[in-house]
């Protein structure tokens, strides 16, 4: 029985050591993160910019809107541009939060403050940049922020760049499709 207690005590020390190493490793991981994707869209910068500058249009192209069609959406502030606010609440895939356009330079840049309240609290900066290239526009969607200890631990098991970046790629493709549909409609007039 004594040898069993000694073995249990050793096992407990090893386990505590492993937990300690894990905690130190996670604590030393970089807290700052950035996810960014770029796509070339066949439309003028002004047209692409309008898809992002008006939160009401996001429901047509945002990959997160498709994850929960029953999510609630509330728009406040100005209709579009600086001061426009979008709040949402949905299932576990989309969570809840609020976005505010804090800077809007027509056909050039949109800067958003992105605040998550569920499933976790976080504040991030999101930037869309629009660079005209002839009849096309290079659009870059970037999110940056700071991860707390739990966020860094989760990222050990989930590749945030791949997960969020994949959604950015999908969203940029959806914007491209949305402006193409709008262009087709204009061509028919």
pLDDT at 1: 66
The string of pLDDT tens digits covering residues 130-181 is: 999 988 999 999 998 777 666 665 656 666 777 778 999 999 999 999 998 7
Position 58 confidence tier, pLDDT thresholds 50, 70, 90: very high
The string of DSSP letters for 96-120 reads EEEEEEEEEETTTEEEEEEEEEESS
The string of DSSP letters for 35-91 reads EEEEEEESS-HHHHHHHHH-HHHHHHH-HHHHH-TT-EEEEESSSSSTT-EEEEE-S
pLDDT at 153: 59
In the CATH hierarchy, which fold is given to the domain comprising 31-188?
Answer: Alpha-D-Glucose-1,6-Bisphosphate; Chain A, domain 4 (3.30.530)
Residue 13 has pLDDT above 60, yes or no: yes
Task: With 0.75 as the threshold, say if the pTM is over it.
Answer: yes
Contact 99, 119 (CB under 8 A): no
The string of pLDDT tens digits covering residues 38-52 is: 999 999 999 999 999
The string of pLDDT tens digits covering residues 83-134 is: 999 999 989 888 999 999 999 999 999 999 999 998 878 889 999 999 999 8
Residue 34 has pLDDT above 50, yes or no: yes
In eight-state DSSP terms, residue 144 is E
The string of pLDDT tens digits covering residues 15-25 is: 887 777 666 66
pLDDT at 140: 97
Q: Using CA atoms, how far apart are residues 111 and 6, in angstroms rounded to an integer?
A: 60
3-state class (DSSP) for residue 129: strand
Can the peptide bond before residue 151 be classed as cis, meaning omega within 30 degrees of 0? Answer: no
Q: Using CA atoms, how far apart are residues 175 and 96, in angstroms rounded to an integer?
A: 23
Radius of gyration of the chain (CA): 22
Position 187 confidence tier, pLDDT thresholds 50, 70, 90: very low
Residues in the chain: 189
Residue 184 has pLDDT above 60, yes or no: no
Rama region for 60: left / alpha / beta (φ>0; ψ in -120 to 50; rest): alpha
pLDDT at 145: 79
In eight-state DSSP terms, residue 134 is T
Q: Which of these, 148, 87, 149, lies nearest to 112 by C-alpha position?
A: 87
CA angle 71, 183, 186 (to 5 degrees): 110
């Amino acid at each position: 029985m004594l040898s069993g207690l000694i073995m249990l005590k050793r096992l407990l020390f090893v386990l505590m050591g492993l937990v300690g190493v894990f905690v130190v490793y996670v604590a030393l991981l970089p807290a700052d993160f950035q996810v960014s994707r770029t796509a070339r869209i066949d439309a003028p910068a002004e047209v692409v910019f309008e898809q992002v500058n008006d939160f009401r249009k996001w429901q047509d192209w945002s990959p997160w809107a498709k994850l929960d069609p029953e999510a609630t959406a509330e728009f406040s502030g100005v209709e579009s541009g600086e001061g426009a606010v979008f709040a949402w609440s949905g299932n576990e895939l989309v969570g809840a939060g609020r976005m505010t356009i804090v800077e809007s330079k027509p056909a050039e840049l949109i800067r958003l403050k992105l605040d998550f309240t569920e499933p976790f609290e976080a504040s991030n900066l999101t930037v869309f940049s629009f660079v005209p290239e002839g009849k096309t526009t290079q659009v870059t969607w970037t999110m940056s922020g700071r991860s707390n200890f739990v966020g860094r631990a989760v990222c050990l098991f989930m590749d945030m760049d791949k997960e969020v970046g994949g959604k950015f790629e999908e969203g940029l493709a959806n914007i491209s499709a949305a402006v193409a549909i709008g262009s087709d409609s204009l061509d028919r007039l």
